[in-house]
Amino acid sequence: MISFLKGILDSAQDETIVIDVNGIGFSVQAGAATIRRMPPIGHEVKLYTYLHSREEGLSLYGFYEQNELEIFRLLIGVAGVGPKAATVLLSFFNPEQLKITVARGDVGTLKQAPGIGKKTAERIILELKEKILKIIPPEKAGLSDFNSEGNDALAALSTLGYSEAEAQKAIRQVLEEGAATNLTSAELVRAALKKIGG
């Protein structure tokens, strides 16, 4: 397993970075976000790497920061999400944005990434939400104001295509009404939809 590469940057273009490590050129697949952060050609660079094995051969994926690699590993563990889709997500979102989006169950935001459809976004959230919530505190994800029913309702509204801000506002309005304290998530969704509908 190659954990990282440290050497001289030979080239960085077309989703491929070539690093000269003691005279050996390593070709590393990378997303746009990583390529944008490369130093000028000829300067030293360090990339955290993941070696992906498939029938066609081996591919090395590189990341500027270790936390990007950690999220990449989580993403490719989701059924139907390969290294290319994971790289696209990490080019569209920074690691913190991605973690918060998944923790909130925000399908609408997640599927804005190129090539990420609704079903893939829902699968990512289904499989990773609990894992992400173990990494980041709920308050950082903006979930602390709601109980579990409120969080489920927020996720459901996001799945329906409403923005995070719009869904949160509607749920807060419902929860502020005295009779709304014991509503189930389904009842919360119905009441919130009425608020959104005006």
Q: Give CATH 2.40.50.140 domain extents, the chain.
A: 1-64
* Full-model pTM: 0.70
Rounded to an integer, the average pLDDT of 52-60 is: 90
- In the predicted structure, residue 124 carries a pLDDT above the cut 90: yes
The pLDDT assigned to 157 comes to 83
The pLDDT assigned to 123 comes to 94
The pLDDT assigned to 139 comes to 55
**1-64 is classed in which CATH architecture?**
Beta Barrel (2.40)
According to CATH, what is the number of the domain 148-197? Answer: 1.10.8
Q: Are strands 16-21 and 44-54 parallel, antiparallel or unpaired?
A: unpaired
The pLDDT assigned to 37 comes to 92
Q: How many CB atoms lie within 10 A of CB 4?
A: 12
Closest listed residue to residue 186, CA positions, set 162, 154, 163: 154
Q: What is the DSSP letter of 177?
A: S
pLDDT above 70: percentage of residues in the chain = 91
Q: Which residues contact 25 (CB under 8 A, 6 or more apart)?
A: 10, 18, 19
Rounded to an integer, the average pLDDT of 124-132 is: 91
What are the pLDDT digits (tens) for 33-53? 899 999 999 999 999 999 999
Mean pLDDT of the chain: 87
- In the predicted structure, residue 140 carries a pLDDT above the cut 60: no
The pLDDT assigned to 68 comes to 94
Fold designation for 66-141: DNA polymerase; domain 1 (1.10.150)
Q: Give CATH 1.10.8 domain extents, the chain.
A: 148-197
Burial profile 145-176: b = 16 or more Cβ within 10 angstroms, e = fewer: ebeebbbbbbbbbbbeebebebbbebbeebbe
What are the pLDDT digits (tens) for 9-40? 999 988 999 999 999 999 999 998 899 999 99
Q: Which residues contact 162 (CB under 8 A, 6 or more apart)?
A: 108, 170, 196
Q: Give CATH 1.10.150.20 domain extents, the chain.
A: 66-141
The pLDDT assigned to 25 comes to 97
